[in-house]
Structure 1
Amino acid sequence: MTTDASAPDPAGRWAGVRAAVVGTGLIGGSVLLRLRAAGLDVAGWDPDPATRRHARRQGVEAPETLDEAVAGRRVVLLCGPLPTLADTLLRVARAAPPDCVLTDVGSTKAELAAFATRHGLVDRFVPGHPMAGADSAGLTSATAALLDSAAWVLCPSDGPATAAFRWLAALVVDVFRARVVPMSPQEHDEAAALASHVPHLLAGALAGAARHAALRDAVLALAAGSFRDGTRVAGTPAARTASMLLGNRDRVLDGLAGVTAFLDRLAGALRAGDAASLTALYAEAEATRSALLARPFDTSVRVFPAGGDHAAEVAWLRRLGAGGGHLSACRVAAGTVSYTAHAPAGTAPA
């Protein structure tokens, strides 16, 4: 199958592919709507009967049982709450066809990946995490465009699972125009702790401090862009945030320690009236912010044999993602697999 995202209308080649989305809240609902817009034959299932009824009113197939929803599907995306994913994975694996590709969108990866390995599902399960969201919840907040152009982590494994990774990477690139970031589950959790999870702690701390301030109402009256941006994710449903933080607790605490150490340096310079040190520290922070907004990338194409044990391919993919790179295309043809890779300038993996 050709999966080159540079071809005209690459999403169109997925029309009619049978997919299912299990858990149709904000992320799952947005995935479902985008897959439907791309022409896939998609069903959604949610444990909440009211959510299933709402999906049907939107013209989405929403069977009453999970088994019905995943039967005969080519791919199933698990989008329920993080604590439910392990049990759901086993249920879906039993009910879906043996060649069905399984993935998830959970915010932590190592624990679920290890669970899948223990249960013999590594050949068909590709851990995933699209880095997108909103401070709202539920299918009524979902939008087909929510995940477009997102950084979407997929965790490749050696052996038969490499073929599942290739297939899924092509789907994600073609349908969502996402930047596929290939990483090991452990590296994902370490990076996501500082990129995503610690910011929830900081947003909660800032919003919580404002709530308990003596001039709380005045603080809120004066709050402008910096406060709104800094506290945005504090609007995420509290139970969802708690599950995310607890699911990656040790790495989040490590990341928080690094933030606290830098904050202590800022506070120390401020306390000492040391303008030079304070300016230097903020110059470091500004450089990182600038790199986030405008970072040059080198583009290359890497080709591997489609057969074999895939160890070199998976090692290269993981180095690319851990080094800040991503994929924009995957093509399997004539016994080879080729990836279009983008790495931060001067850092392309060997």
Structure 2
Amino acid sequence: MAASSGARVRAAVVGTGLIGGSVLLRLHRAGLDVTGWDPDPATRLAARGSGVTCPDELTEAVVGRNVVFLCGPLPTLPQTLPTVAAATGEECILTDVGSTKSGLAALAAAHGLTHRFVPGHPMAGTDRAGIGAAEPDLFAGAAWVLCPSAGPGLASFRRLAALILEVFRARVVPMAADGHDAVVALSSHVPHLLAGALAGAAGRSTLRDAVLALAAGSFRDGSRVAGAPAERTANMLLDNREYVLRELAGVRSFLDELAGALADADAGALTAACREARTARSALLGRTFTEFRRTFPTVPGDRPGAVAGAPAAGGPGGPAGSPDELGFLLALGSAGGHLGGCRVSGTTVEYTAHKPAG
């Protein structure tokens, strides 16, 4: 399969658990030339059983590739990134799927990889783990955060964004690395703490068996992510500790309001707080978007980038971008918008963007 530019994609996926396995299977189903690798021999064997090439050596899996997805556990990424970078050429784009972005983005900058490393985070998953739980369509319609950087890094961002939009059918959300970490603290990480608290309290209760017997949808939905692997959850929370603790304080404050109104038998205050929460929940479910297009010039004299082409003066696979382009992307993501298209033609790049209506 080729992207709109016509260049063929040669991909690799390093770490093939739930997320990495889903990335691997989707790329394979789309007909791309893709290899996988995992440190676990049984996982490599399972990947081969799906018809995917999965060498025993990491370097063999990534050599000659022009896009590599780093999908191992968060603590392994600081070592994996420079290792894979050393084994791949300057034309190879590197990205990850970790749930925090600031630390790895800083590491990439320290290693001189900003021009070809694009931090990423697909906002999808289940409470299961391992390649046996992988789903090729896991990312369809999901938000997939990509963190663009200034200058040559924008060319890599465009190539990767085009690939994700075309192959995974996800919604690309451009965000700054630190902005991402601040947002996911409340949208993703604190919910893991709340789910763990609910499930843990039920487990410690003297009424445990009766509670579980009557647990309805609200309990199952509220505790779902507590079923995720404990080590994975702990790594995620610790890696974003500062932002998680800050947002957790806000949740505690609102919970204290609810508890105080209940303790005081204040029906008015309790109803008002519940109504406020209901309004916020309704806004989540009822969001609508307005589509528009923005076009930016690329650096004069450089050829347009491809999803997986050869290097150019502006970075791997294409020309650098302007500060206006970067500003547009970051503003779109921080406003709750996303990209639905990214096309480089001649000396311009055109984005199809969606922003919340109203």
The TM-score, its normalising length taken from structure 2, stands at 0.92
Instruction: Give ranges in structure 1 of 5+ residues lacking alignment.
Output: 1-8
1:5 match: none
> Equivalent residues in 2 for 1:87-98 (5 A)?
87-98=79-90
Distance 1:327 1:17 in 2: 21
Q: Residue 313 of structure 1: which of 325, 332, 340 is its match?
A: 325
Contact 2:128 2:229 in 1 (8 A): yes
Partners of 1:91 and 1:14 in 2: CA distance: 29
Report the AA paired with residue 315 of structure 1: G
Q: Quick one: distance in 1 between partners of 2:146 and 2:3?
A: 19
Q: CA deviation at 1:299?
A: 1.2
2:30 aligned residue (18, 35, 38): 38
Question: Paired residue for 1:81?
Answer: 73
Matches within 5 A, 1:215-234: 215-234=207-226
2:271 corresponds in structure 1 to 279
**Which residue among 329, 339, 350 is the counterpart of 2:341?**
329
Q: C-alpha deviations, 1:292-319, integer Å up to 9, x for none?
A: 1111211110111122652111111001
Query: Which residue in 2 is equivalent to 1:205?
Result: 197
For residues 28-63 of structure 1, what are the alpha-carbon distances to aligned partners after superposition, in whole Å with 9 as ceiling and x for unaligned? Answer: 000000011111100000001111111112211001
Match of 2:167 among 175, 189, 192: 175
Q: Among all aligned residue pairs of Structure 1 and Structure 2, give the percentage whose two residues are the same amino acid.
A: 64
Separation in structure 2 between the aligned mates of residue 14 and residue 116 of structure 1, nearest angstrom: 29
**d(CA) in 2 for partners of 1:296, 1:17:** 33
2:36 and 2:5 map into 1 onto residues whose CA distance is 21
Q: Does the C-alpha gap of structure 1 residues 309 and 143 become closer, same or farther in structure 2, counting only changes over 3 Å?
A: closer
1:261 to 2:253 alignment: yes
Alignment length (residue pairs): 338
Q: Residue in 2 aligned with 1:144?
A: 136
CA distance in 1, matches of 2:16, 2:226: 22
Cross-structure match for 1:162: 154
- Is the CA contact (8 Å cut-off) linking 1:200 and 1:233 kept in structure 2? yes
CA distance in 2, matches of 1:304, 1:292: 31
Unaligned 5+ segments in structure 2 are 300-319
Cα drift, residue 143 of structure 1? 1.1
Partner of residue 4, structure 1? none
The Cα shift of 1:277 comes to 1.2
**CA-CA distance at 1:334 after TM superposition:** 2.0
Change (3 A) 1:14 1:272: farther
Given the two structures, how large is their TM-score scaled by the length of structure 1? 0.94
Q: Are residue 235 (structure 1) and residue 227 (structure 2) matched? A: yes
Contact 2:118–2:156, Cα closer than 8 Å, also in 1? yes
Task: Give 4+ residue runs of structure 1 displaced > 4 Å after superposition.
Answer: 9-16
Kept in 1: contact 2:37–2:57 (CA 8 A): yes
Q: CA deviation at 1:15?
A: 8.8
CA RMSD of aligned residues (A): 1.5
Counterparts of 1:309 and 1:59, CA distance in 2: 39
Structure-1 separation of matches of 2:258 and 2:120: 36
